[in-house]
């Protein structure tokens, strides 16, 4: 029996492509809608900038959020280091800032098409580095200011002496900020967040020439022994001790070109130190020239010369320095004493031409305590002056400034055509005496000036005054031989003689008449320092110096002088 066959309804198949397309359409559309719903904006989910979440935000909203957070972060000072020193930089002054708009643009998707949206559904944005803007000119200016505070000069190691003790100075490496090279590290520090870490900036290093090893060697080899004990010196039979404190005051260790410390002794400073100057002054004597005086027309030796002795700075240094590295009894030494010879002796006076009186002149004055004092002091400084041939002698250089420290007192002088008080009053009497001595000795005047008005005790047109810093009395010795100036004074007079060799037999003075005579005026003064003044007319006068040789006139030299009227001053 055959089986029964039942018919089944025929089912028509859909095209495979149509089925797949329908499923795809439904899937893509769902993913797109889901992507839009989940991401919610133009920035992929999970996107952060410096820890600030901006995923799913639109551009505008992301910009606002980052401005709030990055603005505060961008204002934080940056901690930096140059060599061993640290400091901070204000990023705003250094031209550093975050570009928030550009940062958001980098984080955002390129569009809202399905591919971009669905791609954002399957990926996370991650952390985005913020965009940094840098104004390099401002950065260089800020770094330049930073360098002024953080740069460090190299310091050589050193050895010093303080109150007899040895002090060591440690060497130090120097650093100078490389401004151009520091710009990129500064930007990186800003990007990392500033004060969270200290950023080393590049710097040029300068190493000291004198090292710590050299300092230790110098102390061991010289400085330590030098301060270990005093030294004992002998000079001209005088024995004295110099302690460590005095030695250290004038001792130093200086670096040479190779970085080695060498000892230096300030011999002059040591010689002037009271602890040394006192003992050495006891053995020091000044060479004194033979004293001359006129005897008739001759120049004779009144007192023999004296040899002097001194200890020079060089001799002191030569004696002391080798003793400083010795010990015990070996720290004693002899200082050489130098003998100084006088310029004029009984034996060489004739060779110098100091054989006769060339001239002599005396000025008399009314006694006054200040005048006697000041005249005597000027005479003391002038007496014994030796003027070599062709040498120029100066009153101001020889006498010095008329101050209390130089031995002068206040007296009456002429200032602005009237008497007033000042230190050194009365010295013009000495200047006038010297001027007349050189006038009749026939030597060449170089600089001189008369008083502004005439003073009766002086010869008309043949007198001189001096003022420190403005008017000097100078002459050049053109006699061909040396000149010795003898000066002496009493309470009422001063005498100056020139001793040497006469170039002319005789010199005379011829005074002309007064011309351009002017009458004085009368003035009343209530000045507390007022000095009464008697009237005297002003005038011009010419004096001729006439030279004679072998009984006949050789030449004439005119000297013209102008005197202003001496007004009468009445003090009230």
- Confidence band, pLDDT 50/70/90 cuts, at residue 37: very low
pLDDT at 414: 57
A 10 A CB-CB count for 118 gives: 16
d(CA 338, CA 37): 111
Q: CA 208: distance to chain centroid? A: 25
Range 162-180 average pLDDT: 94
- Those residues whose C-beta lies under 8 Å from the C-beta of residue 133, and which sit 6 or more positions away, are 95, 96, 97, 98, 99
- Confidence band, pLDDT 50/70/90 cuts, at residue 195: low
Sign of CA dihedral 527, 529, 531, 537: negative
The mean predicted confidence, pLDDT, of the chain is 86
Question: Does position 558 have pLDDT exceeding 80, yes or no?
Answer: yes
- Confidence band, pLDDT 50/70/90 cuts, at residue 121: very low
Range 507-518 average pLDDT: 96
pLDDT at 119: 47
In this structure, what token pair is assigned to residue 328? 């015990």
- Confidence band, pLDDT 50/70/90 cuts, at residue 84: confident
Question: Does position 397 have pLDDT exceeding 70, yes or no?
Answer: yes
DSSP secondary structure, 453-493, as one string: S--TTSPTT---B-BTTTB--EEE--SSS-EEEEEEE-SSE
pLDDT at 6: 36
Could you report the per-residue pLDDT of 367-394, keeping only the tens digit for each?
A: 889 899 999 999 999 999 999 999 999 9
pLDDT at 30: 47
Core vs surface per residue 479-508: b (16+ CB within 10 A) or e: bebbbbbbbbbeeeebbbbbbbbbbbeebe
Question: Does position 41 have pLDDT exceeding 80, yes or no?
Answer: no
In this structure, what token pair is assigned to residue 313? 């700075």
Alpha helices in 75-113, H assignment, sequence order: 100-107
Of 380, 375, 340, the C-alpha closest to 485 is: 380
- Confidence band, pLDDT 50/70/90 cuts, at residue 539: very high
Question: Does position 451 have pLDDT exceeding 50, yes or no?
Answer: yes
Residue 15 DSSP class: P
CATH number for the segment(s) 213-340: 3.10.20
Range 52-69 average pLDDT: 88
Write down the domain spans for the chain.
29-150, 213-340, 353-571
- Those residues whose C-beta lies under 8 Å from the C-beta of residue 45, and which sit 6 or more positions away, are 38, 39, 55, 56, 120, 124, 125
């Amino acid at each position: 029996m055959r089986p029964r066959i039942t018919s089944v309804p025929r089912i028509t198949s859909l095209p495979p492509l149509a089925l797949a397309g329908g499923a795809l359409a439904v899937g893509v559309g769902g993913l797109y809608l889901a992507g839009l719903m989940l991401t919610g904006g133009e920035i992929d989910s999970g996107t952060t900038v410096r820890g600030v979440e901006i995923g799913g935000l639109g551009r505008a909203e992301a910009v606002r959020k980052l401005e709030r957070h990055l603005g505060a972060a961008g204002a934080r000072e940056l901690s930096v280091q140059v060599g061993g020193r640290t400091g901070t930089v204000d990023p705003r002054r250094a031209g550093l800032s975050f570009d928030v708009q550009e940062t958001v643009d980098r984080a955002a998707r390129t569009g809202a098409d399905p591919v971009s949206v669905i791609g954002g559904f399957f990926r996370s944005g991650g952390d985005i580095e913020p965009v940094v803007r840098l104004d390099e000119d401002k950065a260089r200016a800020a770094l330049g200011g930073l360098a002024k505070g953080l740069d460090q000069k190299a310091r050589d190691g050193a050895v010093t002496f303080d109150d007899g003790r040895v002090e060591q100075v440690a060497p130090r490496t120097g650093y100078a900020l490389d401004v151009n090279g520091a710009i990129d590290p500064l930007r990186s520090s800003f990007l990392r967040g500033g004060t969270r870490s200290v950023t080393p900036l590049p710097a040029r290093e300068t190493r000291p020439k004198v090292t710590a090893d050299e300092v230790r060697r110098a102390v061991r080899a010289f400085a330590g022994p030098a301060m270990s004990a005093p030294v004992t010196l002998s000079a001209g039979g005088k024995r004295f001790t110099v302690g460590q404190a005095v030695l250290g005051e004038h001792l130093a260790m200086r670096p040479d070109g190779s970085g080695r410390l060498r000892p230096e002794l300030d011999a002059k400073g040591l010689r002037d130190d009271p602890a040394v100057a006192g003992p050495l002054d006891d053995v020091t004597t000044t060479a004194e020239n033979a004293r001359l005086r006129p005897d008739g027309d001759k120049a004779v030796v009144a007192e023999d010369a004296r040899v002097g002795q001194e200890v020079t700075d060089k001799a002191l240094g030569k004696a002391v320095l080798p003793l400083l590295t010795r010990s015990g009894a070996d720290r004693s030494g002899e200082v050489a004493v130098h003998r100084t010879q006088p310029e004029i002796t009984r034996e060489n006076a004739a060779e110098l031409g100091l054989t006769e009186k060339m001239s002599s002149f005396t000025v008399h004055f009314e006694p006054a305590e200040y005048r006697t004092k000041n005249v005597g002091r000027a005479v003391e400084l002038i007496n014994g002056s030796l003027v070599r041939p062709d040498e120029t002698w100066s009153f101001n250089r020889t006498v010095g400034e008329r101050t209390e420290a130089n031995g002068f007192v206040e007296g009456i002088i002429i200032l602005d055509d009237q008497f007033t008080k000042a230190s050194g009053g009365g010295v013009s009497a000495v200047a006038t005496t010297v001027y007349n001595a050189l006038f009749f000795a026939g030597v060449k005047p170089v600089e001189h000036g008369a008083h502004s008005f005439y003073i009766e005790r002086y010869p008309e047109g043949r007198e001189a005054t001096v003022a420190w810093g403005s008017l000097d009395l100078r002459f050049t010795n053109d006699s061909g031989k040396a000149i010795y100036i003898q000066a002496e004074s009493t309470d009422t007079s001063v005498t100056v003689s020139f001793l040497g060799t006469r170039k002319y037999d005789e010199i005379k003075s011829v005074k002309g008449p007064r011309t351009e005579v002017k009458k004085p005026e009368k003035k009343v003064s209530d000045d507390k320092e007022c000095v009464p003044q008697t009237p005297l007319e002003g005038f011009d006068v010419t004096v001729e110096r006439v030279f004679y040789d072998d009984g006949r006139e050789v030449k004439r030299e005119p000297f013209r002088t102008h005197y202003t009227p001496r007004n009468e001053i009445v003090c009230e």
